Amino acid sequence: MKENFLNTSIDYLKGVGPNRAEILKKEFKIFTYYDLLIFFPFRYIDRTKFYLINEIQKSNSDVQIIGRFTEIYYHKNIKTNRLIGTFNDGCNSIEVVWFKAAKWIEKSIKLNTDYVLYGKPNWYLNKFSIAHPELDFLKEFNKKQVKGLLPVYSSNERVLSRGITNKFFREVIFNIISSSSLFLKENLSKNINEKYNFISKYQAYKNIHFPLNQELLSKAESRLKYEEFFYMQLEFLMSNISKKSKFKGFNFSKVGDSFNNFYSSHLTFSLTNAQKRVVKEIRKDFSSNAQMNRLLQGDVGSGKTIVALLSSLIAIDNDFQVCFLAPTEILAQQHFNSLNESLSKININVSILTGSSSKKDRINLFSNLIEGKINILVGTHAVLEDNVRFKNLGFVIIDEQHKFGVAQRSKLWKKNINPPHVLVMTATPIPRTLAMSVYGDLDISVIDELPPGRKVVKTFHRTDRNRLEIFKFLKDEIKRGRQIYIVYPLIEESKKLDYKDLMDGYESISREFPNNMYQISILHGRMKSEDKAIEMKRFKDGKTNIMVSTTVIEVGVNIPNASVMVIESSEKFGLSQLHQLRGRVGRGSENSYCILMTSNKLSSDARKRIKTMTSTNDGFKVAEVDMEIRGPGNLLGTQQSGLLNLKIANIITDKEILESAREDVKEIISMDSNLIKIENKLIKEEYNKKTKNTLLWKHIS
């Protein structure tokens, strides 16, 4: 019975009726009393203040006056038929006007009775008037306590035309709240409520709709936001546990010769503390008997690859094979080259498979793979195909994971009896808050430290007017022995046009940098892959000074001697892409520069992107602005996460609350993973209720 009250269909609600019920369901998905309770206001009007008529200013957007109608009459002329009332506050009068529904209003208005009038003052012909005000009898106004901050609910023409106004919402919601004190049961534990000094659940609902003052409103908001995050994180982390118990993982119990040998004799630099920490985290997962599912976030250039390499050696020491997946052929090739170079000395076999591997190579590779002769297979999407079979795949690394879909990644799971351990790496940092929400069931490692000696990439915004000065600058850099990228946008929809832009650009650069003095590489998606590889190699080996390219070099490419990144038409790029491109330079110890070329006309979003780039090098900050501009809905994976169902909490502006809620959930689960302790009883009940109806979110990787 208790549950039932809030589940009552709105069809039965007084003042609603079948027509309005229909439209509420259709427009706002409001089916039950409870749905009305969680139809939160989107703003509030301060109705603690009352105005005298002679206090009204042109700057007032709305005013509230106590007074009486002294007369009401029609003003007719050829064009209009208005109903006019004279409203008097005891000293002065103001004209009140209705253009529509006048008959009904004329009948309902009582003369010489105290009203609270609320509306927007208009200044016209040297006096104020108010059209279509909201009216409450003073007596009822006091009784109903529709004072303090008044809620404003979202609305549209279709619902307004059925009389579903703010006033309507206020009344029905007020009625439901008044009868729900018994039904809105506490659902957070005593500990949590005490820790944050939360108001009760019932009080929170009451005050989110009808706050008597700002302070109570804030209290209601913080509790409801916390609660929303808390249960979201509880579902994530519980599903994480159930996944861990469901998927047994290979146990990599030892750290053997390959690892030790490489670490002590072939590592050319010492690891940063952050890298050491992450390697430790991975080692711990490897020997935990459960499948690892770890997201490694680290800004561009933070040194994720070496972490992947060291982890791979542990897998190999335990007689398992490794698959290293990269989103582009160029990147796969680069990883292959550098792994091969580092690992051939210790007799580790690295092979590569991409879309352009020849048939002959494939046959060879497939048999070596299944015989276990290959230790690490580097590749693009091609490695996902069913005919790619391993002898004993134990560890999968996915570089730049945002380039892969969930379905693609899940294919790798099936390549052994148990799913391999998975490490996904990203340099397009999803802000940590979002990662926690979207990838709540992944463990997260962060490399939050750049290798020593790195300098920030100095970033400038320039336009066509500055061409000559830029050319001179580029020539100076080349004189110093540095290399330069010049990147043109490649947007799928207008490939032809972009190709032309690239070629035009190449031509003008060739004129400016004549080939008796300078060597220029060119790289774009239409080239054959072996030609791409040749151009890449020429640039990498320092044989060319300038690399003119489309965004094929966007991710991962690592050429430390390149020190300038010029991005043409940079207003056409998204923020994360700009940051990725900038990450191609600043990889050595030289000063590096990123020059953002734009036209003179910029949209406000484009201006914000450019400004963000010139003001910070921190990929996490960039990612947060990116999310602000684009909204979480456009980021990858958010559809699955239920993130868009958040009613009141906002992962950007409320991230501190999200973090606290997550920490609390972790603590509770670590001590009571089945929520059987008496102090977690309320949480368990709410959790069961919530998960009964929702499918658990799919595994992300």
Interface with ligand ADP (CB under 6 A): 269, 271-272, 275, 298, 300-306, 427, 451, 558, 560, 587
Which of Mg ion, ligand ADP, none does residue 587 bind to, with CB < 5 to 8 Å depending on kind?
Answer: ligand ADP
148 binds Mg ion (CB under 5 A): no
| Amino acid at the residue 424 | V
Stretch that binds Mg ion, among 135-143, 463-471, 472-480, 552-560 (CB under 5 A): 552-560
Q: Which residue is nearest to Mg ion (CB)?
A: 556
Min CB(277)–ligand ADP separation in Å: 12
Which of Mg ion, ligand ADP, none does residue 483 bind to, with CB < 5 to 8 Å depending on kind?
Answer: none
Stretch that binds Mg ion, among 26-34, 122-130, 519-527, 555-563 (CB under 5 A): 555-563
Q: Which is nearer to Mg ion, 394 or 556 (CB)?
A: 556
d(CA 321, CA 581): 32
- Which stretches of 439-486 are DSSP H helices? 467-479
Stretch that binds Mg ion, among 210-218, 386-394, 548-556, 589-597 (CB under 5 A): 548-556
Q: What is the token pair recorded at 41?
A: 């206001």
Q: Which is nearer to ligand ADP, 238 or 278 (CB)?
A: 278
The label of the residue with tokens 């999407």 reads: 381
DSSP, residue by residue, 143-170: HHT--EEEEE----HHHHTTT--HHHHH
Min CB(581)–Mg ion separation in Å: 13
Q: Strand 293-298 and strand 443-447: pairing?
A: parallel
Q: What is the token pair recorded at 47?
A: 């109705």
- Which residues are CB-neighbours of 571 under 8 A, at least 6 positions away? 598, 599, 602, 603, 606, 609, 610
Burial of 175 (0-12, 13-18, 19+ CB in 10 A): middle
Min CB(363)–Mg ion separation in Å: 31
Which of ligand ADP, Mg ion, none does residue 525 bind to, with CB < 5 to 8 Å depending on kind?
Answer: none
Which of Mg ion, ligand ADP, none does residue 612 bind to, with CB < 5 to 8 Å depending on kind?
Answer: none
- Which residues are CB-neighbours of 595 under 8 A, at least 6 positions away? 459, 460, 462, 470, 564, 565, 566, 567
CA angle 145, 151, 211 (to 5 degrees): 55
103: left (phi over 0), alpha (psi -120 to 50) or beta: alpha
Which of ligand ADP, Mg ion, none does residue 451 bind to, with CB < 5 to 8 Å depending on kind?
Answer: ligand ADP
Which of Mg ion, ligand ADP, none does residue 302 bind to, with CB < 5 to 8 Å depending on kind?
Answer: ligand ADP
Which of Mg ion, ligand ADP, none does residue 662 bind to, with CB < 5 to 8 Å depending on kind?
Answer: none
Q: Which is nearer to Mg ion, 400 or 477 (CB)?
A: 400
Q: Which is nearer to Mg ion, 327 or 556 (CB)?
A: 556
41 binds Mg ion (CB under 5 A): no
Q: Which is nearer to ligand ADP, 368 or 561 (CB)?
A: 561
| 137, containing H or E segment | strand 134-137
Answer yes or no: are the C-beta atoms of 415 and 393 closer than 8 Å: yes
Min CB(320)–Mg ion separation in Å: 23
- Which residues are CB-neighbours of 284 under 8 A, at least 6 positions away? none
Min CB(308)–ligand ADP separation in Å: 8
- Which residues are CB-neighbours of 280 under 8 A, at least 6 positions away? none
Helix (H, G, I), strand (E, B) or coil at 262: helix
d(CA 477, CA 454): 18
Q: Which is nearer to Mg ion, 41 or 556 (CB)?
A: 556
Stretch that binds Mg ion, among 164-172, 213-221, 277-285, 549-557 (CB under 5 A): 549-557
Q: Which residue is nearest to ligand ADP (CB)?
A: 303
Q: Which is nearer to ligand ADP, 392 or 558 (CB)?
A: 558
Min CB(678)–ligand ADP separation in Å: 47
d(CA 528, CA 329): 11
Q: Which is nearer to ligand ADP, 119 or 301 (CB)?
A: 301
Q: How many residues bind Mg ion (CB under 5 A)?
A: 1
Min CB(356)–ligand ADP separation in Å: 23
Min CB(403)–ligand ADP separation in Å: 13
Backbone angles phi, psi at 401, to 5 degrees: -60, -20
Min CB(578)–Mg ion separation in Å: 17
Answer yes or no: are the C-beta atoms of 484 and 546 closer than 8 Å: yes
Min CB(274)–ligand ADP separation in Å: 9
Min CB(223)–Mg ion separation in Å: 42
Q: Which is nearer to ligand ADP, 212 or 271 (CB)?
A: 271
Which of ligand ADP, Mg ion, none does residue 337 bind to, with CB < 5 to 8 Å depending on kind?
Answer: none
Min CB(306)–ligand ADP separation in Å: 5
Min CB(300)–Mg ion separation in Å: 7
556 binds Mg ion (CB under 5 A): yes
Answer yes or no: are the C-beta atoms of 405 and 385 closer than 8 Å: no
Min CB(547)–ligand ADP separation in Å: 17
**Cα 481 off chain centre by:** 40
d(CA 514, CA 471): 12
Instruction: Quote the crossing angle between the two packed helices 304-317 and 329-343, to the nearest 10°.
Output: 60
d(CA 649, CA 653): 8
Residue 82 bridge partners (DSSP): 75
Min CB(621)–ligand ADP separation in Å: 17
Q: Which is nearer to ligand ADP, 522 or 562 (CB)?
A: 562
Min CB(272)–ligand ADP separation in Å: 5
Q: Which is nearer to ligand ADP, 352 or 557 (CB)?
A: 557
Which of ligand ADP, Mg ion, none does residue 271 bind to, with CB < 5 to 8 Å depending on kind?
Answer: ligand ADP
DSSP, residue by residue, 473-528: HHHHHHHTT-EEEEE----GGGHHHHHHHHHHHHHHHHHHS-TTT--EEEE-TTS-
Stretch that binds Mg ion, among 291-299, 370-378, 554-562, 648-656 (CB under 5 A): 554-562
From start to end of 491-608, where are the E strands? Answer: 520-523, 546-549, 562-567, 592-597
**Distances in Å between the alpha carbon of 289 and those of 244, 247, 313, 405, 414?**
9, 9, 18, 27, 18
Q: Which is nearer to Mg ion, 335 or 609 (CB)?
A: 335
d(CA 53, CA 93): 7
Q: Which is nearer to ligand ADP, 77 or 268 (CB)?
A: 268
Which of ligand ADP, Mg ion, none does residue 151 bind to, with CB < 5 to 8 Å depending on kind?
Answer: none
Which of Mg ion, ligand ADP, none does residue 550 bind to, with CB < 5 to 8 Å depending on kind?
Answer: none
DSSP, residue by residue, 394-428: EEEEETTGGGS-HHHHHHHHTTSSSPPEEEEEESS
d(CA 245, CA 241): 6
Which of ligand ADP, Mg ion, none does residue 269 bind to, with CB < 5 to 8 Å depending on kind?
Answer: ligand ADP
DSSP, residue by residue, 190-211: HHHHHHHTPPPHHHHHHHHHS-
Which of ligand ADP, Mg ion, none does residue 298 bind to, with CB < 5 to 8 Å depending on kind?
Answer: ligand ADP
Q: Which is nearer to Mg ion, 429 or 556 (CB)?
A: 556
d(CA 521, CA 498): 18
Task: Kindly list the residues in this chain that would bind Mg ion in the complex (CB under 5 A).
Answer: 556
